[in-house]
Amino acid sequence: MPKAILYHNPRCSKSREALAYVQQQIDDLVVIEYLKQPPTRQDLDAIFKALDVQNAHQMIRSKEAEYQLAGLNQDASNDEVLDAVAKYPKLLERPIMMYGSRAAIGRPLDHIVALLHA
């Protein structure tokens, strides 16, 4: 597994900002355009664990139409949320930086800066 992975959406200004910053900091960065190359369910489990959040809802975009299509609500289990993201990758919050065994959501960019300099 590479040391640094950025789950990126080039249409998102926050994601582009994160990419530009991280490229200045890391030479061996792997950039995954997650809408073209969706993360597997196994990848999503690893991201969830690395983010160290209590609820998988914290790593998704609940205002996307796919949230309703997936039948999600605030009572959905972590497994239900991760299954939905596997089916509808657009639900994944962006950008997400995996760095070693840890991860951060780059909203705001300060979270990625802190991850890289911890």
DSSP-assigned beta bridge partners for residue 30:
5
- Eight-state DSSP code of residue 92: B
Q: Which of 12, 26, 31, 46 is catalytic?
A: 12
DSSP characters for 1-70? --SEEEEE-TT-HHHHHHHHHHHHH-SSEEEEETTTSPPPHHHHHHHHHHHT-S-GGGGB-TTSHHHHHT
State the DSSP H helix or E strand holding residue 111, giving kind and residue range, or none if neither: helix 110-116
3-state secondary structure of 90: helix
* Known active-site residue 39: no
Catalytic residues: 12
